[in-house]
Structure formats: C-alpha cells, structure tokens
Amino acid sequence: MEYLGHWGDRPLTISLKPNGLTVSLQHSGRADVYSFDAAGRLWTALHEGVSYRRGLNGKVIAKWKTAGRDRDRRWLTVEESDALLARANHWLCELLEEVHAGQPNLSPAIPAPIIAALETARRFDLHLAHQDALAFAQVYRPVGILPPDQYMALTLQATEGCSFNTCTFCDFYRDRPFRIKTPEEFQAHARAVKDYLGAGLTLRRTIFLGDANALVVPMRRLVPLVEIVHREFDVEQLGGIYAFLDGFSGERKTRQEYSRLVSLGFKRVYLGLESGHDPLLQFLKKPGSAADCVAAVRAMKDAGLAVGVIVLLGAGGRQYAAPHVRDTVRAINAMELDMDDLIYFSELVESEGMAYVTAAYQAGLKPLTPAERARQAEEIESQLRFSAIGGTPHISRYDIREFVY
C-alpha cells in the first residue's frame, strides 16, 4: 500500500509492505527517509544526504559521498545513534499528532493500515530501542561477520566461533572457543531468535547458519540442527539456507553430503579462498590449500550448490603480489564458476595487535596501498574466464568494515 500526499506543502510518501514501512518527506529539495521493520525497529535512514544503517545490535553506520572519493563511512557514537533514533521518533510523533488532530494539514488523509504501522514504529522509541539491543545480546553471541549479500539474513548460530581460529588476518572469533550447539540448545536459540524478531522476521531475506564455518560440523550432528531450522521456520519462504565453509583441514564433505545439504534447503556456501598461492596461505596460517578449496567448490557445484568465493586483496603485500594474482586466477578458473556464484574481493584490514601485522613486519613485507589493492582486484578479474553457457558470476567488493547486523 502506498500513500502519496502532502504534509502542508511538503510531499510525503509512505510505503507499507508486509516486511516494513518507509516514510519519506521532501523539504528544501531533499528527502528525509526512514525505514522500519514490521516490529517498528528503525533500520535505515537518509538525512541531509547521509545514509544510515542500524543493526539489530543497535550500532549505526553512516555513509556519504565525498567530493574527491567515492564514498566515506563511520560508525556513530551511542549519543549520535540516540539522536538519530530520537529524530525519527520525534518526526513520527508529529505526523501522528497531525493524524489524531483530524489530519488538517495532510492531503489526502492517511489510510488506517498505514496509521497502525506508523503507531508501531512510533512505539519503538529510544527506551525500547535500548531494550531491544539488550534483548539481541541475550539471544546472540556477537555475529562476527556475514557475506555482504547476507546482511539481511536471519542468522542462526548453530556453532560458536571458528574451529580453526589460526588465520593471522582474522580477529572475528578470537574471543570465544569453537563449539557446536546441542540440538536442545540450538532449538532454544532458534525459538529465542523467533521471539526476539517478532514481526521483524518478515524483513529477513534468507537464513544464515552461523558462525564462521558451520559446515565444518560433521553430517551426523549437522543434519539434526538443520532439521530444527525446518521445524521452527519456513525455510523456502525465507529464501533457503546459506553458510560459510572456511578453512580446509580435517573431515571433508563428499559430493553426496553436499547433495543432502541441497535437499535440506542449502542454496549457497561461502568459502574464504583468500589466495590461490599456497605459500601465502601458509604465511597467513590459513588451514588447507588452494587445491582443497577448488576441490570443495567443484564437489558443491556438482551437487547443485552455488558458492561465494572470497579473495583477500593486499595479502602478503608487494612481495607476494605477483604469485597471489597468478595463482588466485588459476584457482578460480579451475572452479568453473557460473552465474549462480559470487566472487568477493575483500581488502585486508590491518588493525593494531593483529597477528598478521606482526608477522608482516617481521618478514619485512611492504604493504600495498589502497589503490594498489584495487588494481590487484582488477588484475585478477581481467584474467578470469567463464564458460559462455554457465555465464559469469557476480563480482563485487566486500568491505568488512561496513558489516552491520
């Protein structure tokens, strides 16, 4: 249902869908836009040319275009996030005051279903937003990372942490040991997530089985967990199941096992190839080899699973750059990817205390500049070859600094 009208002399547009509400008010040639899920949570906003994305954990990232650079971003402080929520809520209060006063300045009148949705969003005030973020933290361990096309997934944590936790460039799961949930625990988690999201579940587009590499779980333990997902949620309606399989060592799944996962609703698996160059993988302390990753991808593709392959730009600096490009091209070309698949170029993000930074310093590696990393992606991409029949995978950037859940 769409409302196109005016509030005074300002154009007002309200769009009500089963998955949420978007309200847009034009003023001085600009639009203020706020979007809420069906439970009333603010999740995106546009104000004075800056776009905001609010995660379920209450954190807000702001992004804007700059003159010289493509775009910029930063995380808001708690005070700034509160100010954004308060502004959206104030705005809804004013609009609903207008409605309750008989809509004298609104033309045409706003229909009742949209008013009900506006009331739901208005009730999600600062106090409720803080409570909601606390409730999120009760239901989830921090969601370390998701692939960019999965930021709107319904995440279910069948495991916690990473079974490897050795990769020097990755700090996502350092704070927790790896463990697989029991079926009882996982069922309780799935129900708690469902209760927590409430009507907001309609905004979730897929199911992501977390954490880092849930598919490392042996089939005899994985299948009962996936069956719980089916008991608690309509998997097909939610767009199927997605997961990471990261790091290759220990037990490996067969083509038949991947076929079983397809029959259980799995659609795509994301693999951190990072590099096709084995000495670089060893330097990064990434378990397994490029050949292991290629073999896993081919078994998955054979079984009917799509894949998302992640390449780490800038890994190993200048010293590794040439073999990194050469062998990564070779590995990806051997995967025989097609239009169902994704390739992500993820820039190495160094931070203080990260094991990679120390190792790179000790090895005397010269880091690539951001421009050189971007060129590395172009170099790899220009040498990738795909079959005319299967088509070309979607290739895009993956900036882990922008991850929000």
Binding site for ligand SF4 (CB under 6 A): 162, 164-167, 170, 172-173, 212-213, 246-247, 272, 286
Least distance to ligand SF4, CB of residue 46, Å: 33
- The token duo for 237 is 């309606």
- Distance between first and last Cα of the chain: 27
Least distance to ligand SF4, CB of residue 279, Å: 17
Least distance to ligand SF4, CB of residue 165, Å: 5
Task: Tell me phi and psi for residue 126, to 5 degrees.
Answer: -60, -45
Least distance to ligand SF4, CB of residue 282, Å: 13
Q: Nearest to residue 351, comparing CAs of 143, 170, 145?
A: 170
Q: Nearest to residue 313, comparing CAs of 357, 367, 359, 270?
A: 367
Nearer to ligand SF4, 203 or 214 (CB): 214
Q: Nearest to residue 404, comparing CAs of 152, 236, 160?
A: 152
Q: 288: how many CB neighbours lie within 10 A of its CB?
A: 20
Nearer to ligand SF4, 310 or 377 (CB): 310
Whether the CA torsion 141, 142, 148, 152 is positive or negative: it is: positive
Nearer to ligand SF4, 146 or 203 (CB): 146
Least distance to ligand SF4, CB of residue 144, Å: 7
Least distance to ligand SF4, CB of residue 232, Å: 26
200, with CB counted inside 10 A (0-12, 13-18, 19+), is: buried
Strand, helix or coil at 160?
Answer: strand
Nearer to ligand SF4, 85 or 212 (CB): 212
Nearer to ligand SF4, 155 or 213 (CB): 213
Nearer to ligand SF4, 156 or 212 (CB): 212
Sequence-separated (6 or more) residues with CB below 8 Å from residue 161: 173, 176, 177, 178, 179, 211, 212
